[in-house]
Structure 1
Amino acid sequence: MNVVPEPLPGGPALARRVMDSYETVAHLYGGDFLTEENKRLRAAWLDQSENLRADRSELAEVLRAYNSRYNNHEKVRASLDLLEQPGTLVVAGGQQSGLFTGPLLVIYKAITAILAAKEASRELGRPVVPLFWIAGEDHDWDEVNHTYVLNRSGEVKKLKIELPDAGHSPVSYINVEEEHWQGPLEQLEELLQESEFKADMMELMRTASREGGMSGAFAKIMGSLFGKYGLVLLDSADPALRRLERPFFRSLIENNDRLEASYHQTAADIKEEGFQLQADVTAGSANLFYIHEGARLLLIKQDGLFTDRKDTISFSREELLDLLDRHPERFSNNVLTRPLMQDYLLPVLATVLGQGEISYWGITGRAFAQMGFRMPLIIPRMSFTIVEGTLHKHLEKYGLTFADVQGGLEEKKRRWLEAQDELELARRFEEAKVAFAAMYDPLIEQIGTVQVGLIKLGGSNKEKILDQISFLQHKVQDAMAKQNEAALRQWERIERSLMPLGKLQERVYNINYYLNRYGRSWLDGLMELPTDYSGTHRIIHM
């Protein structure tokens, strides 16, 4: 693998500022930039604040039970033994549980967490465990029920689990029957080319699908890919975890008004400094969900009560606290309280975030302090685009860069196709049309002296002749395009491979294409790449 940095324009402005000049926005986050010295300071604070978090032994038992089912690897068991010991820290990253792991960025986030934990352990001289937080409590089924694969013909194909009655239940609670898995599994096998790795990969996908749900399948695949690196998995919808979280949910409810005020104050600061908010901060939001009859309902505060927007449920603060004591599994975090809950459960040295996440975490800066915590260090997720050998040759052949592809290739492709017209037929056709008009217009004027009505007829006749010339010109252009059909397919392959659907490859394609092409050694190769936590995008030439 040859790695080349490729700075990308765009992205949320606040995230760019965090990565480029953190000191100018540090006041919004209340945390520190990722340096070895700040890692030591964060570690020291975590040692001093051990009593603020959930009991390590109880947490380790919950995670052992979960990982023994989905991620039963000796290195994971060793990580959990370490996590149970005082002084062990965590580098955490997380994502929703997408179909067949979803887009590549999920894989890159796990890799970033593993490598960052290993590096921090070496620098600090103490255990640092990597952990992946599966956001199984999220209820947007349409966000996780599909993924995209580059097929053997170089086309972008969507795979999707059709489940019309998913409702608003947390994804981890949605059962997916074997019949619903069958379609995308068959489609995946059909789309991918034959390879020495295909049978092993498809067996993993089929085994994972037997877990019955999206989150279980996701965990099974992630465990198979990363268990040997000691990556611990946590499902935020795990009922056993909810019982551990109960004291902090109580604190979130009891301090809800002050917590809401902190979000609003920081959101106002962010907007005043010219940045856009990446998460909604609405008046009266409790920033918590309640699961009622399987549906995950966002709680709001109205007339002294906790209710939802459709008044399906309504509780006083005391009633809500009583329900929490009896049914902690019914409670769930939203995007702004999840970072706080993560810090309550785990001794988080640093958290791995994408650019959108970096931006909305800024809203939680004061909230951490409000709850007696400090925001962990932020690690921008490593970001890659994979360029295969044949594709690299095509880029060189047409003189294209990744920036060209990112900007769109239509104009460059048109100019290239014009350059293949060695007979300059396009120019000569246009000249012929101009020359014809120059000869015909004076003639039309003259015949008008014979009879005025002939001018209109002559004009109509002229347009028909020009249309016929244009018709022939288009036929010639089609013939030239057919001559260059193979080359135009190469142009399409470049665009579909590197910027599918107009987005970065890592935001669209699933890992299975690359596992099928290169096997698991490809993943091992990624694990050996030099770390880069600057947020710089990198091109990997295979």
Structure 2
Amino acid sequence: MNIISEPLPSQQPLAEALVSDYAAVQQLYTGDARLDVSWMNRAEWLDRSEDTRVDRKAVVERLRRYNALHNASPEVSAALDLLEQPDTYVVTGGQQSGLFTGPSLVIYKAITIIQAAAHASKKLNKPVVPVFWIAGEDHDWEEANHAYVLTRELDVTRIRLHKNDDRRTQVGQTEVSQESWNTVIEKLSGALQDSEHKAELLADLRADAAASRTLTEFFAKQLGRWFGQYGLILLDSSDNGLREVEQSVFRRIILDNDRLGQAYREAADQLESLGFEAQAEVAPDGANLFYIHEGERLLLFKREGRFEDRKGLISFSRDELLEQADLHPERFSNNVLTRPLMQDSLLPVLGTVLGAGEIAYWGLTGRAFTAMGLQMPILLPRMSFTMTDSAVQKYMTKYELSFEDVKDRMADKREAWLAGQVDMDVDGRFDEVIQSFEALYEPLIEEIGTVRRGLLKLGAANKEKIREQIEFLRQRTLGALEEAHAAALKQWECIGLTLFPMDKPQERVLNAYYYLNKYGQEWVHELLQIPYEITGGHRIIEL
């Protein structure tokens, strides 16, 4: 395995500023992760504020039950023992559950969380445990239910897990039949090439599916299989047992709702004044909470002193909503802006691992942390990787392509290479012919127009037909050129599909099972040996 550092801009100005120009965004965040003083200040604040969070033992007890079911290992049990102690901190990060864990960036986020926790523990000489927050409360099934897999034919195919209705149920509470599990696993089997690792991977998937009621449980079992041995604790935000522990926090969010709403709006204005765009909607009447009504997750808004959903299916006064939180905490769910507050109310979070988009919307939450008597944790950019195998490396060398070439100018490079395979400049010669033809033909049309007026229109139409025939011949010539070099162009296509499938970074599209199938589950453990980079960064991994 060879590792090459290679920039891959995120297209998120806030995320870029966090690591390259912290002074420009320091009003929005808590501390620069590169400075030791940031870590020490955060640790001291966590020590002082221990009594303001939900009781550790209650949180750990719920996490023990969940992890015993889906992530049972001695290392996780030991990490939970540590978390129960008041001098232990947490590095966390999260993602919604996805089919076969979704895009490979999910694996990289888990790796970053584990490595960041070890880094922080060494820096502070204190125990720091990694926690992966599974956003099982999310209701966007279409975003979670699929995986893009690189097939044995080097095509990208989407494998999709279907459900029987379009209700807005939480992914973590949406049941999946064994028939549906079998269908998607068989599709994955058909997509993957035969390898020495394939039978074991499929056996593991079938075992996990047989023991999984929901996509979130399936997701948790896969993460546990790879990362449990590193002490990665899993937390599912849709776990009803956890909701009972969160009850007091939901009460605070309801009681302080007006103040929180004001904090989010002020933060949005502050972002604009600094020249940034808010990356999450801050609705003027938003309550920033969901309510689970008859299984569906409904976003709440404040209207004339009441909390209601957009369609008016539910309506509560503040006191009625507080009573619901007391009696039925499992009916409440955070939105993207209150989830960070819930996370820090439950756990002693030293730092949280985020992708670029998450860093951007966390810029809206600083004032809300203060309004809740909390303090934003240190933000840690997720490490980013692009995998290349020996075939892709060979092709890139053959065609003298850099990673930047593939990212920014692949089509131009391909066309230039193809044009260089023949002595004639196909496009240039055809352009010359068209120019010469038009230069000769247009004066003729004008002359025949003096013979009879109708001939002018006929001549113009005739000219277009001749031009269409010349263009037709151009395309046939280019097609013949591509046919003559089909094998080479397939290699170009392989490079593009592997590094930037669907014109996006590999980690945001391709599922990890292509690499697990090719290199075995040891691939995950080898990635964990890559040195931790506190600013995230992007690295090419030559396998």
The verdict on a shared fold, with TM-score over 0.5 as the criterion, is: yes
Match of 2:339 in 1: 338
Quickly say closer, same or farther: Cα 1:31–1:468, change in 2 above 3 A: closer
Query: Partner amino acid for 2:418?
Result: L
1:475: how far off? 3.4
Match of 1:362 in 2: 363
* Pairing 1:14-413 to 2, within 5 Å after superposition: 14-210=14-210, 211-413=212-414
Task: For 1:72 and 1:105, locate their aligned partners in 2 and report how far apart those are by CA, in whole Å.
Answer: 24
Report if aligned partners of 1:29, 1:366 keep a CA contact under 8 Å in 2.
no
Query: Partner amino acid for 2:152?
Result: R
Task: For 1:514 and 1:498, locate their aligned partners in 2 and report how far apart those are by CA, in whole Å.
Answer: 13
Task: For 2:283 and 2:455, locate their aligned partners in 1 and report how far apart those are by CA, in whole Å.
Answer: 72
Quickly say closer, same or farther: Cα 1:455–1:401, change in 2 above 3 A: same
1:212: how far off? 2.0
Greater mean alpha carbon deviation, residues 495-504 or residues 453-462 = 453-462
1:185: how far off? 1.2
1:181: how far off? 2.0
- Per-residue CA deviation, residues 81-115 of structure 1 (Å, 9 max, x unaligned), is 11111101110010000111011111111000000
Task: For 2:460 and 2:321, locate their aligned partners in 1 and report how far apart those are by CA, in whole Å.
Answer: 82
Task: For 1:237 and 1:538, locate their aligned partners in 2 and report how far apart those are by CA, in whole Å.
Answer: 34
Report if aligned partners of 2:386, 2:499 keep a CA contact under 8 Å in 1.
yes
Quickly say closer, same or farther: Cα 1:380–1:427, change in 2 above 3 A: closer
Report if aligned partners of 1:30, 1:366 keep a CA contact under 8 Å in 2.
no
- Per-residue CA deviation, residues 475-522 of structure 1 (Å, 9 max, x unaligned), is 333222111001111111111111111111111111101100111121
Quickly say closer, same or farther: Cα 1:445–1:370, change in 2 above 3 A: closer
Report if aligned partners of 1:22, 1:33 keep a CA contact under 8 Å in 2.
no
1:363: how far off? 0.8
Report if aligned partners of 1:289, 1:298 keep a CA contact under 8 Å in 2.
yes
Match of 1:492 in 2: 493
The gaps in structure 2 that reach 5 residues or longer are none
Task: For 1:305 and 1:51, locate their aligned partners in 2 and report how far apart those are by CA, in whole Å.
Answer: 32
Quickly say closer, same or farther: Cα 1:473–1:316, change in 2 above 3 A: closer
1:278: how far off? 0.7
Task: For 2:22 and 2:405, locate their aligned partners in 1 and report how far apart those are by CA, in whole Å.
Answer: 30
Report if aligned partners of 1:34, 1:377 keep a CA contact under 8 Å in 2.
no
* Pairing 1:470-489 to 2, within 5 Å after superposition: 471-489=472-490
Report if aligned partners of 2:149, 2:510 keep a CA contact under 8 Å in 1.
yes
Q: Paired residues, what number?
A: 542
Report if aligned partners of 2:337, 2:362 keep a CA contact under 8 Å in 1.
yes
Report if aligned partners of 2:110, 2:132 keep a CA contact under 8 Å in 1.
yes
Query: Partner amino acid for 1:302?
Result: R
Greater mean alpha carbon deviation, residues 420-429 or residues 129-138 = 420-429
Report if aligned partners of 1:166, 1:174 keep a CA contact under 8 Å in 2.
no
1:5: how far off? 1.8
Task: For 1:262 and 1:456, locate their aligned partners in 2 and report how far apart those are by CA, in whole Å.
Answer: 69
Query: Partner amino acid for 1:174?
Result: T
Query: Partner amino acid for 1:396?
Result: T
- Per-residue CA deviation, residues 197-226 of structure 1 (Å, 9 max, x unaligned), is 111111222222220211000001000011
1:333: how far off? 0.8
Task: For 1:511 and 1:170, locate their aligned partners in 2 and report how far apart those are by CA, in whole Å.
Answer: 25
Residue 26 of structure 1 aligns to a residue in which SS?
coil
Quickly say closer, same or farther: Cα 1:454–1:60, change in 2 above 3 A: closer
Residue 175 of structure 1 aligns to a residue in which SS?
coil
1:474: how far off? 3.8
Task: For 2:307 and 2:95, locate their aligned partners in 1 and report how far apart those are by CA, in whole Å.
Answer: 28
Task: For 1:242 and 1:108, locate their aligned partners in 2 and report how far apart those are by CA, in whole Å.
Answer: 28
Report if aligned partners of 1:34, 1:378 keep a CA contact under 8 Å in 2.
no
Task: For 1:366 and 1:203, locate their aligned partners in 2 and report how far apart those are by CA, in whole Å.
Answer: 48
Quickly say closer, same or farther: Cα 1:90–1:452, change in 2 above 3 A: closer
1:443: how far off? 8.6
Query: Partner amino acid for 2:63?
Result: L
Match of 1:506 in 2: 507
Quickly say closer, same or farther: Cα 1:299–1:456, change in 2 above 3 A: closer
1:426: how far off? 5.6
Residue 516 of structure 1 aligns to a residue in which SS?
helix
Greater mean alpha carbon deviation, residues 288-297 or residues 199-208 = 199-208
Query: Partner amino acid for 1:170?
Result: Q
Report if aligned partners of 2:101, 2:219 keep a CA contact under 8 Å in 1.
yes
Ranges of 4+ aligned residues in structure 1 off by more than 3 Å: 30-34, 423-476
Query: Partner amino acid for 1:338?
Result: R
Task: For 2:161 and 2:144, locate their aligned partners in 1 and report how far apart those are by CA, in whole Å.
Answer: 9
Greater mean alpha carbon deviation, residues 509-518 or residues 450-459 = 450-459
1:58: how far off? 1.6
Task: For 2:69 and 2:455, locate their aligned partners in 1 and report how far apart those are by CA, in whole Å.
Answer: 89
Quickly say closer, same or farther: Cα 1:81–1:445, change in 2 above 3 A: closer
Quickly say closer, same or farther: Cα 1:274–1:203, change in 2 above 3 A: same
- Per-residue CA deviation, residues 262-309 of structure 1 (Å, 9 max, x unaligned), is 111111111121101111111121111111110111111111111111
Residue 363 of structure 2 aligns to a residue in which SS?
helix
- Per-residue CA deviation, residues 134-153 of structure 1 (Å, 9 max, x unaligned), is 00111111110111001111
Quickly say closer, same or farther: Cα 1:164–1:272, change in 2 above 3 A: farther
Query: Partner amino acid for 2:494?
Result: R
- Per-residue CA deviation, residues 162-198 of structure 1 (Å, 9 max, x unaligned), is 2141411111110011122232211110011000111
Greater mean alpha carbon deviation, residues 470-479 or residues 80-89 = 470-479
Quickly say closer, same or farther: Cα 1:127–1:416, change in 2 above 3 A: same
Greater mean alpha carbon deviation, residues 172-181 or residues 34-43 = 34-43
1:24: how far off? 2.2
Report if aligned partners of 2:15, 2:356 keep a CA contact under 8 Å in 1.
yes
Report if aligned partners of 1:34, 1:379 keep a CA contact under 8 Å in 2.
no
Quickly say closer, same or farther: Cα 1:429–1:230, change in 2 above 3 A: same
Query: Partner amino acid for 1:278?
Result: Q
Task: For 2:307 and 2:458, locate their aligned partners in 1 and report how far apart those are by CA, in whole Å.
Answer: 79
Match of 2:8 in 1: 8
| Alignment partner of 1:527 is 2:506 | no
Query: Partner amino acid for 1:385?
Result: T
Query: Partner amino acid for 1:394?
Result: Y
Task: For 2:434 and 2:248, locate their aligned partners in 1 and report how far apart those are by CA, in whole Å.
Answer: 82
Residue 415 of structure 1 aligns to a residue in which SS?
helix
Instruction: State the TM-score, normalized to the length of structure 1.
Output: 0.94
Alpha carbon RMSD of aligned pairs, Å? Answer: 2.4
Residue 29 of structure 1 aligns to a residue in which SS?
coil
* Pairing 1:448-459 to 2, within 5 Å after superposition: none
Quickly say closer, same or farther: Cα 1:85–1:481, change in 2 above 3 A: same
Sequence identity (%): 51
Residue 97 of structure 2 aligns to a residue in which SS?
coil
Query: Partner amino acid for 2:190?
Result: E
Instruction: State the TM-score, normalized to the length of structure 2.
Output: 0.94
